[in-house]
Structure 1
Amino acid sequence: MKKQLISIVAAAMLFSIVPMSAQAAEPAFSDIEQSYSKKEIQALVEADIIAGYPDGTFGPQKEITRAEFARMLAHALDLPANEPASNTFNDVPVWAAPEIGALVEAGVVYGLSEKTFGSNEHITREDMMTMIIRGIGYDDFATFLSQHSGFKDFNQISEYAYNQVGLASSIRLARGTEKGYFLPDESAERQAAVRWVYEIMFEAKQYERNLVELLIPRVYGGGNIVDIIWHGDDKVEIQLFEQPTRVVELDELLEELHGTLQYFYLSRQYGHDWIEYSSEEKKEYVGKMVAFWEADYSFFRVTDNNEVLVPPLVTHLNSFFNEDNLYYSIGEKLENYALENGYIERTE
């Protein structure tokens, strides 16, 4: 899993607004007293992250464009500028090209079409949250877990954003309105953008904890977890029922959780999925399954009797799946065949 490191001291970010002077930026803006993001706006302004209008206002309820938010997010994630990567689109303004290119290169954002980024369009709340989840490196987890968001308007969330909003809700990053709505297709306000960027910049460790505490029961089984204890920010103690307690470094644990959840996710694919894969996708699929078997945390071990496993496993699956068994689990068939032929053995 590739994690984006979030820089606490980010470069100055603008919303395409002329910045106020340092002296004028210190007092509260004249129009943020009633904003739910007053604290976050103040903090990011004082840190020279964002700026308001020359007349002393911030415009917290004004809508933010896709280019403006892209510029803001790229700086928050401390991504290196990459103007050439934005050239695939024909509507990127010069002032946002380095940041949009940086997000494209990192796989955080895609255009509205092959040639159009939609720079001047107002970004929706679901698009903004999807970009954030990708940006902080949680997109795979969103896919593997497929969390239901719990918002009253969950059925209005677009398919491409459903898992990302669901995960964001589960780790308490996306909190919605007081009445329990997310309003996914509404244009995002500047105050919402500021709050979420503030959270991923200054409260990143808390959301990482929330994520880990969500993932551990999914991998170990909720009924087996006695307690999860944090030793600082970077070490986790997992107390298990009638099993040895584990104390593990966070980076190592996240790699293990990612690999195991990916294996569970891939195992749930069926024969009708397999026959739709291209030759390269089949090799990639089997390669990921074999990589899990070879991992230290796997519940299988690749034996000394193994060959180069990917080609024969692909060949076997190609011969097995036909019109009569397209609803058979690929993962189960793969495991059984590898066990029967002595390629792998169980570790527990």
Structure 2
Amino acid sequence: MFSLRHRLILSLLLLLTFLLVTPVVQAVPADVAGHWVEDSVKNLIAQGILHGYPDGTFRPDQSITRAELAKTLAVAYGLNAAGDQGQFPDAKGHWAENYIAALAEAKIITGYPDGSFKPEAPVTRAEMVVMLTRLLKLGTEEEHYTVEFIPTFSDVAADYWAFYQIEMAAKLGLLPRYYGPDFNPSRLASRADTAWMLQQLLNLKTVRGQVIGQPEAGTNLITVRPEGDGEIEIAVIPPEAVVFRNNITTTVDTLTKDDQITIYYNRNDEPTVVKAFGEVNKSDLLSRISALVKGRLTTEQIAAILAGNWDKVKEGIKGELYDQLLKIGLTAEEAEAILVQDWSYLDSVSRDRLASALSGYLGITKDLSGAILARDWERIKEFARIELTAMALEKILD
């Protein structure tokens, strides 16, 4: 028989054992019980990504600050600062300084034009979406869009600074259901919004790997060898999916064997965005020229011009181009000769003025316009490269 003393010692040992082997789970804040974001908050707290306030609340409907968001995203994606942590003077000594530095280093967040970060400023819906899509490496400044998006939200036009990031988030299903029919980009994002969107982001299926074989035209089918030891992935890309190759929007059949690829699936497990990188080819160059002229000519039209098949293009732009030709001083007869491609009628001066007209219409240099007219492929590549470089330098200097 154990004495009372032995029984007490045994009970204490059992209690200590239970405490040591049982994980400590942070209590779920009482103010999220029954809230629409309850499950997301519970999951993120269990993972150590989110935390409540010292008084035991989470305050789901309160706005989130830039500092709080920086910590949340850095913890969720395991980001740590390796370099200079003094990028933003107003973040120096702030409790979130390391998290802010980590996200800045990963190009997830940026400061304001005056060099500040404003860690205690609230985050807007647009800013939130931009940061989340950057975590996926989508909606970056390197991307060029040669296809038109039909706006999802009536209050976010195609020229809005975060238009493409908002569209990507909508396509992937990252936005709360009550975001609509208007998006209200300047409205402050709540802590509930943050938790829900981050949970969707973490749950998204992505497949990274290498394209096996050349995708067959018209099938929209891609076979991917995933990174690591994963099984071969066969994906049928729907027509409405956004496809990039070397950061230019394109179609599935332009992807090539051995391209490095990432396929992003939406919440319904459907391929929604594809980003591929590989050796630059003619299709890429056509797409880049299309991007240079801001989509006013499609890659098919540009290819037709390069092949000398002006008939495929001229009807679509005839009226506007005719007006441009007259504005730069060509006679009506010269303009008409150009549109019907009666080159024998034109002298060298008229051809030079034609290059100027194309330059004004497309927003490219006269040299590139002339090379396109002459179908000089090597000069086109050289001038396109120069223009892309100039555009990049201008962006940097601005």
CA contact (8 A) 1:30 1:56 kept: yes
For residues 233 and 29 of structure 2, what CA distance do their matches in structure 1 show?
Answer: 42
Residues 107 and 224 (structure 1), Cα distance of their counterparts in 2 relative to 1, 3 Å cut = same
Moved more, 158-167 or 321-330: 321-330
Aligned amino acid, residue 152 of structure 1:
S
Deviation at 1:336, TM superposition (A): 4.1
Computed over aligned residues only, the root mean square deviation of the Cα atoms, in angstroms, reads 4.5
For each residue in 1:175-233, what CA deviation from the matched residue of structure 2 results, as whole angstroms up to 9, or x when unmatched?
451643322111111111112222222x131xx36x99xxxxxxx89x92365688987
Match of 1:42 in 2: 42
Match of 2:290 in 1: 268
Residues 47 and 120 (structure 1), Cα distance of their counterparts in 2 relative to 1, 3 Å cut = same
CA contact (8 A) 2:91 2:119 kept: yes
Deviation at 1:131, TM superposition (A): 1.0
CA contact (8 A) 2:91 2:97 kept: no
Deviation at 1:146, TM superposition (A): 6.3
- Report which structure shows greater RCO (CA 8 Å, sep ≥6): 1
Match of 2:247 in 1: none
Match of 1:116 in 2: 116
Are 1:324 and 2:357 counterparts? yes
For residues 74 and 130 of structure 2, what CA distance do their matches in structure 1 show?
Answer: 14
Aligned amino acid, residue 70 of structure 1:
A
Are 1:333 and 2:382 counterparts? no
Aligned amino acid, residue 108 of structure 1:
I
Are 1:224 and 2:218 counterparts? yes
Residues 256 and 45 (structure 1), Cα distance of their counterparts in 2 relative to 1, 3 Å cut = closer
For residues 253 and 53 of structure 1, what CA distance do their matches in structure 2 show?
Answer: 38
Residues 227 and 262 (structure 1), Cα distance of their counterparts in 2 relative to 1, 3 Å cut = closer
Deviation at 1:113, TM superposition (A): 2.0
SS at match of 2:107: coil
Aligned amino acid, residue 224 of structure 1:
G
SS at match of 1:75: helix
Aligned amino acid, residue 133 of structure 2:
I
CA contact (8 A) 2:110 2:117 kept: yes
**Structure 2 gaps, min length 5:** 1-22, 210-214, 238-251, 264-273, 296-351, 383-398
For each residue in 1:46-94, what CA deviation from the matched residue of structure 2 results, as whole angstroms up to 9, or x when unmatched?
1222111233321111110111111211222222224724434434552
CA contact (8 A) 2:355 2:373 kept: no
**Alignment TM-score, normalising by the size of structure 1:** 0.59
Residues 36 and 271 (structure 1), Cα distance of their counterparts in 2 relative to 1, 3 Å cut = closer
SS at match of 2:234: strand
Match of 2:18 in 1: none
For residues 110 and 381 of structure 2, what CA distance do their matches in structure 1 show?
Answer: 44
Are 1:90 and 2:109 counterparts? no
Residues 194 and 110 (structure 1), Cα distance of their counterparts in 2 relative to 1, 3 Å cut = same
Residues 199 and 271 (structure 1), Cα distance of their counterparts in 2 relative to 1, 3 Å cut = closer
For residues 293 and 132 of structure 2, what CA distance do their matches in structure 1 show?
Answer: 34
For residues 340 and 86 of structure 1, what CA distance do their matches in structure 2 show?
Answer: 46
CA contact (8 A) 2:260 2:276 kept: no
Are 1:237 and 2:239 counterparts? no
Aligned amino acid, residue 257 of structure 1:
A
Match of 2:152 in 1: 150
**Alignment TM-score, normalising by the size of structure 2:** 0.52
Residues 333 and 102 (structure 1), Cα distance of their counterparts in 2 relative to 1, 3 Å cut = farther
Matched pairs, number = 260
State the identity as a percent: 20
Match of 2:125 in 1: 125
CA contact (8 A) 2:88 2:111 kept: no
CA contact (8 A) 1:227 1:239 kept: yes
Aligned amino acid, residue 36 of structure 1:
W
For residues 107 and 354 of structure 2, what CA distance do their matches in structure 1 show?
Answer: 33
**Structure 1 gaps, min length 5:** 1-21, 213-219, 274-318, 344-348
Aligned amino acid, residue 358 of structure 2:
N
Residues 227 and 130 (structure 1), Cα distance of their counterparts in 2 relative to 1, 3 Å cut = same
SS at match of 1:84: coil
For each residue in 1:119-148, what CA deviation from the matched residue of structure 2 results, as whole angstroms up to 9, or x when unmatched?
111000110110111122112486436644
Aligned amino acid, residue 25 of structure 1:
Q
For residues 57 and 63 of structure 2, what CA distance do their matches in structure 1 show?
Answer: 14
